[in-house]
Amino acid sequence: MKRTIIMVLVAVMAATAVVYAQTAWNGELNYEGAGQYTDASVANQVSTFSINPRQVICGVGTLNVGGAFGPFEMMMYSGNVETYKNQGTEIRAEGEMRSITRVAGVVVEDVVHPFVAIAVDNGPSRPQPNLKDRFDTHFITPFWHVGNSLCTPSEKILGGCKFGGPIFLGDVNVSN
């Protein structure tokens, strides 16, 4: 009995090692993207993003003192990715996301709204910096619309805004 238990444990450990070796990650993304970007739409601030079939995230912010007070911060994250498609060199995700915008430490908006996110794969992830790929989130809210002087107009959502730009750290990879 003792010998059987030991043999079963050895077999389970060997199978686990084989599965782990087969799934070791090499640092490349598959059919998703993550990184940092910047351009005039985010006032040339460092902005983060992630896009995958489960969630789209976009964060923009400036200098902040202890998480309590900064000139501007915005956090956007999806609760529902309704469509996620590979279209040539692009990944396009659509659904609903929550956007929280804070100006001078005051939350000026916390809403759920539709979004369209587009990530473009224009080259390999190595070497970094990756200056060929791009990420953009298109949306419209009561605060973020073309009447707001901070808005960079969206080409995808009529009357809406976009945050996005060329990726300088990270990658978009449309292959899976």
- Report residue 113 as tokens: 């709204």
Q: For residue 115, give the nearest of 76, 151, 69 by alpha carbon.
A: 76
DSSP per position, 59-127: EEE---BTTTB-SEEEEEEEEEEEEEEEETTEEEEEEEEEEEEEETTEEEEEEEEEEEEEEE--S-S-S
- Report residue 22 as tokens: 């087969």
Average of per-residue pLDDT across 2-24: 57
pLDDT in tens, 111-132: 999 999 999 999 888 888 878 8
Residue 16 backbone dihedrals phi, psi, to 5 degrees: -60, -40
pLDDT in tens, 126-149: 888 878 899 999 999 999 999 999
> Quick one: pLDDT at residue 154?
96
pLDDT in tens, 36-92: 999 988 888 889 999 999 999 999 987 777 777 778 889 999 998 999 999 899 999
> Quick one: pLDDT at residue 42?
87
